[in-house]
Amino acid sequence: MHTTHHCKARQSQRGISLDMVEYVLAHGSQEKDKVVFGKKEAKQRIAALDNERRLLMKISDKGGVVVVADGDALITTYNCSQRH
């Protein structure tokens, strides 16, 4: 997408980075000619990432987790050993 001189100037004046713009475009809600990612959505995403981080820390503490499946049946699970 082409960024106009006006947009670049406003981004700079308002402290809005290119990473922020790209994130909003990827995850925001389309409203006519706008894409919006509000404070409420940001806080919800932060909470989801915090939950994911806690889960990943638990998996890491176990050295990883293996799930054995056959088709749509879960057969067993176990902690990873160091040789995996």
Which tens digit of pLDDT belongs to each residue from 6-33?
A: 999 999 999 999 999 999 999 999 999 9
Q: Counting runs of H as helices and runs of E as strands, what totals does the chain give?
A: 3, 4
Residues in CB range of 62: below 8 A, 6 or more apart: 79, 80
pLDDT > 90 fraction of the chain, expressed in percent and rounded: 94
- Average pLDDT of the chain to the nearest whole number: 95
With 80 as the cut, is the pLDDT of residue 82 above it? no
pLDDT tier, 1 (very low <50, low <70, confident <90, very high otherwise)? confident
Give the C-alpha separation, 14 to 26, whole Å: 20
The pTM assigned to this predicted structure is 0.76
Beta bridge partners of 78: 66
Whether residue 69 contacts residue 53, with contact meaning beta carbons closer than 8 Å, is answered with no
Residue 57's nearest CA partner among 49, 46, 45 is 49
Residue boundaries of the structural domains of the chain: 1-37, 38-84
